[in-house]
Copies of this chain bind each other. A is one copy, B any other.
C-alpha cells in the first residue's frame, strides 16, 4: 500500500480513537493479547522464515537471538498488552482550568497525539509493544520495522488487526510499512500532515538518520554516554557496587555507565580497588594520565574515549580536581541521558543535581534505573534524550498532547 494512503487511513482511524472510551481500548488490548497467544504457532512459523534468512545471510548469533520468537516471548508480548490495559488512561484529564475576568472558562485537557510513527530495528516484539502503548493513549500508529523481521512483523500485525476488527475497532489504527527500503523510510520521515510525531527506536545510526532527514516532529531517543562521578567523600563500597552494576549488569543498553570520573584526592586508592572489582568482570579500563599512574594495567584513554558510548565491557576513567571540573567534563561529553554522583557531601549532591544537564541525574544510585518500569510508569516507549516534549523515560502520558477547551457566553475581544 502507498504510504500516503496509509497516512490517510491512520489519520481517519486516529479521529475515531480520539474520543474512544477507556473500556473499548482495554477490550481491544486484551483481545489482541489473547489473539497473539492463540496464534502463537503461526507467529513462530512466520518468524522461522526471518530467522532462516538471517542465518543464511550470516547474521551474528546474538542478533539472531533478538530476532527470534518463542512461545515465552509471545506470552511476553501478550503480558505486555495486558499490563498496558491495566494502566490508567491518560486521555481526558483536565490538567488545569481557570476563569478569566471576562467570564471565559479555560481548561487544558489531555488528548491523544494523533498518528505516531515508529521506526525500529530487528526485534519483532517491539511491534506489539509499540502498538499497545500508542493505542492505549488513543493514537493510531504507523510502524516500520527492520527488513530482517518483516515476515514476523506482518504476521503479528495481521493477528492484531483481525483481533481489533472482531471487537468492532477500526483496524487501520495500526499500519505496517512493508516496503523496508530506505526510500520509503525517507518518505515516512516527511509525511507531514499525516504523522504527528516520529519516534526512532534503535542504534545511533538509525536515530541520526531520522533526526537529519525528518520534517515531521521527532523525539530523539536512546544514546547514552553515562558517567558515574566518585566524589572525594564517596563511600568506596557504595561507589564500587554502583559502578559494577551500572557498567556490567547489562552492557548493550543506553543507561549503562561508560565513564567513571574520580576526584584526584581519592583517585590512587579508589582506582586500584575499582580495577580489582572490574577486572573480575572482564572490564577493560582506559584512563587519563593520573588514572594510569594509579593502575598500571590500564590503557591510556584518547580524546575519542571521552565521547564514546562503548555498549561493551569497556570503561573510560577520568580524574578531576574538583566537583566543578567533574560537572564541566560530564556536561561537555554526555549525551543528556543519565548521570550519577556518589558522595556523602550534601552540598555536592545538590550541586550535581542542579548543574548536570541530563534527563536523569542520580545521587548514590545506579544509572541503570533510567527506565519507564523502574520509574513506576508501568510502560516505556523509549527514553528521550531531547528537551522538547518529553525528557527521560516516556510512558503513556508522553504519548499525548493537550488542547484548550474554552467555555464562553458570547464573549468577543475588545
Query: Does A364 reach chain B (CB closer than 8 Å)?
Result: yes
A302 to chain B, nearest CB (A): 21
* A235-B408 Cα distance, complex, nearest whole Å: 13
* A368-B104 Cα distance, complex, nearest whole Å: 13
Query: Does A360 reach chain B (CB closer than 8 Å)?
Result: yes
Residue in B closest to A350 when the chains form the complex, CB atoms? B405
Instruction: Please tell me if the beta carbons of B401 and A245 are within 8 angstroms of each other in the complex.
Output: no
Instruction: Give the interface size bracket for A toward B.
Output: 35 or more
Q: Select A245's contact among B15, B212, B366, B412, beta carbons within 8 Å.
A: B412
**Residues of chain B within 8 A of A15, CB atoms compared:** 331, 355, 357
Residue in B closest to A405 when the chains form the complex, CB atoms? B353
**Residues of chain B within 8 A of A353, CB atoms compared:** 405
Residue in B closest to A356 when the chains form the complex, CB atoms? B403
- Stretch with Cβ within 8 A of B (4 or more), from A33-41, A81-89, A121-129, A384-392: A384-392
Residue in B closest to A246 when the chains form the complex, CB atoms? B412
27 A-B residue pairs with Cβ-Cβ distance under 8 Å, sorted by A, are A15-B357, A19-B354, A100-B375, A104-B365, A104-B369, A106-B375, A111-B357, A113-B388, A211-B215, A212-B215, A217-B217, A217-B220, A217-B387, A235-B410, A245-B413, A249-B413, A363-B406, A364-B408, A364-B410, A365-B407, A365-B409, A366-B412, A369-B406, A370-B404, A374-B413, A388-B401, A392-B403
10 additional contacts (CB under 8 A) given A18-B355, A249-B412, A364-B408 = A100-B376, A249-B413, A353-B405, A359-B404, A366-B412, A366-B413, A375-B404, A388-B401, A391-B402, A392-B402
